[in-house]
Amino acid sequence: MMNKAYKNKNLLLYLVALALYLLATFLPFLPYGIAVVCYLLSMLLAGSHLIHEGFRETIRASIAARNFIPNIHILMLLAAIGSILLTAFEEASLLILIFAAAHFLEEYAEAKSRREITKLMAISPQKARRIGPDNQWQSVDVSSLQVGDRLMVLPGDQIASDGSVISGHSTVNEATITGESMPKEKMTGSPLYAATINGSGSLTMEVEKEVLNSLFSKILRMVETAQKNLTPKASRIKKLEPFYVKTVIYLIPAVFLIFMLTGLSIYASYEKSLIFLVAASPCALAASAIPASLSALSRLAKAGVLFKGASYLSELTDIQKIVFDKTGTLTRGKPELTDLIFLDKDNEALYRIIIASMEKEANHPLADAIREALPDGAILDLTVENKIGQGLLADYQGHHYRLFKAELEEENVLSLASQGKTVVNLQKDGESVALLAFRDLPHPKAQSAISYLKQEKIQPVMLTGDNRLTAKALADELGIDKVFSNRLPSEKSHIIDELKEEGPTAMIGDGVNDAPALAKANVGIAMGQGTDVAIEVADVVLMQNDLSKLVLAHRTAKSMNRIVWENMIFSFCMVIFLVSLNFIADSNINLSVLAHEGSTLLVILNSLRLLLPDKIVVK
C-alpha cells in the first residue's frame, strides 16, 4: 500500500510539474523571473524521486565498493544542472520531464510484465475451517494447520493446504496450480491442493503437508526467485552500467577540450559537452533486457510454465540435447489394454467374464486397465489365489484358469512384445485361450514436441528404466534415435554428465528417480503432476503434463533473446548516431533528449510484445 501511495504521489507531482512547464512556455506575457521559477519548480517536482534515487544508489553502491559507482540517473541530473548554469532553464525542465516520463513508462512496463507472476502472491490461502474433536469446525489461520488436521471445505471455499478427501463429492478448480480451467472431480481419496477453489459440493479433507511444503508454496518460492534472477545479458548490462556512466563523466572534459580546439567558444563547447552527456546516456541500453525477460516469464507463467529465473529461460535456447524420461513424460503414465486376442473363439464371451472376475479384486495397474476396458457385465464369484511366480489362479465349472505374464518364446507373444507391449496369458487347463496386451500409450502431444525439437536441431534422447523392447518401440514411434534403457536412477545422472560433455543438455522427468538427473542437467524440467522432489530440484516446472508447453517455452526463449539483441543493437546505434550528430552537425539539448528518451520508449514497447497472445513466432 505504501509503495502504491508513493507512486501515486510521484505521479501527482509530475502532473503539477508538467502544468508549471506548460504555463511558463505558452504564456508569453508571463514575467521572465516567474517563468524561471516555474521551470525550476517543474524540474524539482518531476525529478524529485529520480534525484533521490540517483544520489541514494550512487552513495550506497560507492560506499559498498569503496569506489565511485554512479547511478545512471546521475548523467541526466548533471545535464540538467549544466543547462541551468547556461541559463537554459526551459531545456533543463524539459529534459527532466521527458526523462521522468520515460521512467514512469519503464516502471509501468515492468509492473505489467510481473502482473501474471505476482498475481499468484495475492491468492495464498489465509483461513481454514478446522474440525475439532466435537466434529464442529472453527475458522483458524492457515499457518496453524498441522499434518493430520481435518478440514471442512464448503462450496466456494479455497483449499487451505495439500491433502486428500476423506468424505464428500465435488469439483475443484485447479487453474492456480495447473493452468487448466476445467474443474476436476473430487471424491474420497482424491488429492487436493492449496489455493485451488472448491465447487458446489462440500468436502471433508485431511491435511497431508505442512503449509510451507504445499505445492502452491513451492510455486510461490519459484516465482519469487524468478523475479530476482536475471538473464546473463541483463546481468552483464547491470555490471557494465556503472563503468559506462563513469566513463561518460570522465570523457566530458576531453569532449569540451576537443570542441574548444575546433574554434568554438567556451559557451558553445560547454553546450556541446552537455549534449554529449545526454546523447551518451545508456537509458535505452539499461532497459534492453529486464522488461523483455519479465514479459517472457509472465507470459509463460500465465500458460502454466514456471521458471526459477530468466537465466534458465535464456539458457534453453542453447540446449543441444533434451533427455526425456519415458513414463509420465513421453507417455500417459498408465498402461491401457490395447489388444485382446482370443485363441478359442467359441468361448470368447465366457473368457471375458473369467478375466474380469479374476481381476475384480486385484490392485495392480494392469487390473485397473482391464476393469476400464472390459464393459460391465456378469461377474462370477470366484475364489482367486495370487501365487508369486504363477499369477492369478481360479477354478470354474471343473476347469482350472491361470492368468499370468506371458513368456516370450511364443511367436504371437513375441510379436506383441516387440511393439513395446506387456503380454498377459489366460490359460485354461494349461492351454492358452487368450492373450491380453497392455501398453503405456504415447502422450498425445509427444509426437509434435519431438518433431519440433528435431526441426530446431535439438536431439531428443530417451532415458528410462524400462526394458529395451518397450523403450525402442516407443522411440521408433516418436522418432527418437538415441535410447538408454534398463537404467537405474543412479546411472541416469552419470549419463547426463556424459551427454553434457557433448553439449548443453536439458532433462525432463516427473519422478523421484529423475531428481538426481534433473539436478545435474544444464536445465532441469519437471512435470507439475510429478513428485515434490522432482519439482523441488528442477529449474522449470510444466504445471500440466503437456509437452506442447515445452515447445512454447523454447519458442518464447528464442523470441526473448532475439528481442533483447534487437534492443541492444538499436540502443548502441542510437547512442552512436546522437554522439556523431553532435560532432558533425548542429544539435541541441531538446533534440538529443527527445531522440534519447524516444529510443528508450521504443525499446520498452518492443519488449512488451512478448506479452501479446499468439505472437511468439520463430522464423
Q: To the nearest whole number, what is the mean pLDDT of the chain?
A: 83
**Torsion (CA) 158, 161, 162, 164 in degrees, nearest 10:** -70
Active-site annotation holder among 162, 325, 514, 546 = 325
Cα 510 from Cα 325, distance rounded (Å): 8
Q: pLDDT by residue (tens digit) across 281-326?
A: 877 777 788 788 888 888 888 888 888 777 888 889 999 999 998 8
Q: What is the mean pLDDT of residues 255-263?
A: 91
Amino acid at 342: F
DSSP letters for 204-264? EEEE-S-GGGSHHHHHHHHHHHHHH---HHHHHHHHHHHHHHHHHHHHHHHHHHHHHHTT-
Note the residue count of the chain. Answer: 619
Which is higher by pLDDT, 152 or 215?
152
CB proximity list for 612: less than 8 A, separation 6 or greater = none
Which is higher by pLDDT, 153 or 10?
153
Question: Residue for cell digits 553434457?
Answer: 500
Question: Residue for cell digits 510481473?
Answer: 114
pLDDT at 150 over 60: yes
pLDDT at 418 over 90: no
pLDDT at 582 over 80: yes
Q: What is the mean pLDDT of residues 407-433?
A: 84
Q: How confident is the model at residue 566 (pLDDT cuts 50, 70, 90)?
A: very high
Amino acid at 415: S
Q: Decide: helix, strand or coil at residue 364.
A: coil
Q: What is the mean pLDDT of residues 243-267?
A: 89
- pLDDT, residue 496, reads 92
Q: How confident is the model at residue 446 (pLDDT cuts 50, 70, 90)?
A: very high
Q: What is the mean pLDDT of residues 74-103?
A: 82
Cα 337 from Cα 373, distance rounded (Å): 6
Q: pLDDT by residue (tens digit) across 31-58?
A: 889 999 999 999 889 888 777 777 788 8
- pLDDT, residue 220, reads 64
Question: What pairing do the DSSP bridges indicate for beta strands 197-198 and 170-173?
Answer: antiparallel
pLDDT at 515 over 80: no
- pLDDT, residue 181, reads 53
pLDDT at 7 over 80: no
pLDDT at 498 over 90: yes
Q: What is the mean pLDDT of residues 500-505?
A: 94
Question: What pairing do the DSSP bridges indicate for beta strands 203-207 and 150-153?
Answer: antiparallel
Cα 198 from Cα 158, distance rounded (Å): 6
Which is higher by pLDDT, 614 or 52?
52
**Torsion (CA) 345, 348, 354, 360 in degrees, nearest 10:** 130
Cα 300 from Cα 549, distance rounded (Å): 9
Is 476 annotated as catalytic?
Answer: no
Q: How confident is the model at residue 484 (pLDDT cuts 50, 70, 90)?
A: very high
Lowest-confidence region among 268-272, 348-352, 412-416, 421-425: 412-416
Which is higher by pLDDT, 213 or 169?
169
**What are the boundaries of each domain within the chain?**
146-209, 304-332+443-557, 336-439
pLDDT at 79 over 90: no
Q: pLDDT by residue (tens digit) across 106-115?
A: 777 666 655 5
146-209 CATH pick, 2.70.150.10, 3.90.1150.10, 3.30.300.30, 3.40.50.300: 2.70.150.10
DSSP letters for 513-524? GGHHHHHHSSEE
CB 188 within 8 A of CB 170: no
Give, in degrees to the nearest 5, the angle at Cα 99 between 98 and 101.
65
**What are the backbone dihedrals phi and psi of residue 543, each rounded to the nearest 5 degrees, phi first?**
-65, -25
Cα 472 from Cα 555, distance rounded (Å): 29
Per-residue burial over 496-526, b if 16 or more Cβ lie within 10 Å, else e, is: beebbeeebbbbbbbbebbbbbbbbbbbbbb
Lowest-confidence region among 215-229, 246-260, 497-511: 215-229
Cα 328 from Cα 209, distance rounded (Å): 24
CB 327 within 8 A of CB 243: no
Question: Long-range contacts of range 360-368, CB-CB < 8 Å, 24 or more positions apart?
Answer: 362/386, 362/392, 365/334, 365/335, 366/335, 366/422, 366/424, 366/436, 366/438, 368/334
CB 330 within 8 A of CB 442: yes
304-332+443-557 CATH pick, 3.40.50.1000, 3.40.50.720, 3.20.130.10, 1.10.150.120: 3.40.50.1000
pLDDT at 615 over 50: no
Which fold is adopted by the domain 336-439?
Calcium-transporting ATPase, cytoplasmic domain N (3.40.1110)
- pLDDT, residue 164, reads 94
The CB density around residue 469, as the number of other CB atoms within 10 Å, is 17
Q: pLDDT by residue (tens digit) across 530-558?
A: 556 566 778 888 877 889 999 999 999 99
Sign of the dihedral defined by the CA atoms of residues 173, 117, 207, 159, in that order: negative
Q: pLDDT by residue (tens digit) across 587-612?
A: 777 788 788 778 888 888 898 888 88
pLDDT at 159 over 50: yes
CB proximity list for 146: less than 8 A, separation 6 or greater = 207, 210
pLDDT at 417 over 90: no
Cell numbers representing residue 616 in the block: 511468439
